[in-house]
Amino acid sequence: MAHNKIIEVTGKAIVIEGDDIDTDRIIPARFLKEITFANLGQYPFHDERFNADMSEKDHPFNDAARRAARILFVNKNFGCGSSREHAPQSLKRWGIHAIVGESFAEIFASNCITLGIPAVTVSASDSKVLQQASLKDASLVWAVNLDSSTVSGAEFSCELHMPEHHKDTLKQGLWDSTALLLNNLDRVRVLHDRLPYTSNYGS
């Protein structure tokens, strides 16, 4: 399961400024009707990115210089509102692999961990430095490192925080439940055969 372990995420950054950005802003409710998560990468901040005629607005997620970004810098209480998993799903499928903010809604942060996205917090002053540096230079590469508990780049480094059980889940690769089942398939089959309510189904 080594390939599922998440120790460090590196990449360019994209900045979404503002407190209390809720999940309906991240992905509007009408897109929740998608049967699978596969297409959700089209929809992050959709109504803030596009006019009614689908012409583009001025928005970070429409900036060609930010299209390769893998780290999202945000502010306070990001992901509040509805607990929909589609919000972090849409960000991940757009290309976001880590989110750094001042604080997160608890369920949103937990949903991120389930998808293998570190959602880490930094101080307000450090957040300001990270955002301003990234806004000034889109080419800067940042590193979110769970071993050293740091966010670093552009000759700057600051301490990150996240619950230890979230950090351990990512570092040990335990976030990927599908991989856990596949890697322990023999044990799953043994348990399947022991359960009385699965006895009528083939293994």
Residues 128 and 192 in one domain: no
Flag whether 3 is in a domain: no
> Which residues have a Cβ under 8 Å from the Cβ of 174 and sit 6 or more positions away?
168, 180
Percent of the chain exceeding pLDDT 90 equals 76
Q: How confident is the model at residue 2 (pLDDT cuts 50, 70, 90)?
A: very low
> Which residues have a Cβ under 8 Å from the Cβ of 106 and sit 6 or more positions away?
none
Whichever domain contains 49, its CATH number is 3.20.19.10
Residues 162 and 177 in one domain: no
DSSP result, 4-36: G---EEEEEEEE---S--BHHHHS-GGGGG-SS
pTM: 0.86
Residues 88 and 183 in one domain: no
Residues 122 and 184 in one domain: no
Contact in structure between 74 and 100 (CB atoms under 8 Å) = yes
Structure confidence by residue, pLDDT tens digits, 42-70? 999 999 999 999 999 999 999 999 999 99
Flag whether 166 is in a domain: yes
Residues 157 and 179 in one domain: no
Instruction: Calculate mean pLDDT across residues 14-31.
Output: 96
Residues 30 and 78 in one domain: yes
Q: Name the average pLDDT for the chain.
A: 90
Residue 181 in this model has a pLDDT that exceeds 70: no
* Residue 2 CB neighbours (<10 A): 5
Please say whether the dihedral angle defined by the alpha carbons of residues 8, 13, 19 and 22, taken in this order, is positive or negative: negative
Residues 86 and 137 in one domain: yes
Structure confidence by residue, pLDDT tens digits, 115-158? 999 999 999 999 999 999 999 999 999 999 999 999 999 999 99
Residues 121 and 108 in one domain: yes
Parent domain of 34: 9-172
The pLDDT value recorded for residue 54 is: 95
The pLDDT value recorded for residue 1 is: 45
Residue 202 in this model has a pLDDT that exceeds 90: no
CA–CA distance, 90 with 112 (Å, rounded to integer): 11
Flag whether 97 is in a domain: yes
CA–CA distance, 17 with 14 (Å, rounded to integer): 10
How many structural domains compose the chain? Answer: 2
Residues 34 and 98 in one domain: yes
Which of these ranges, 37-46, 65-74, 92-101, has the smallest mean pLDDT?
Answer: 37-46
Residues 20 and 86 in one domain: yes
Edge-to-edge strand order for the sheet containing 119-121? Answer: 119-121, 98-101, 71-73, 8-15, 141-145, 150-153, 156-159
CA–CA distance, 147 with 156 (Å, rounded to integer): 17
Flag whether 1 is in a domain: no
Q: How confident is the model at residue 102 (pLDDT cuts 50, 70, 90)?
A: very high
The pLDDT value recorded for residue 3 is: 60
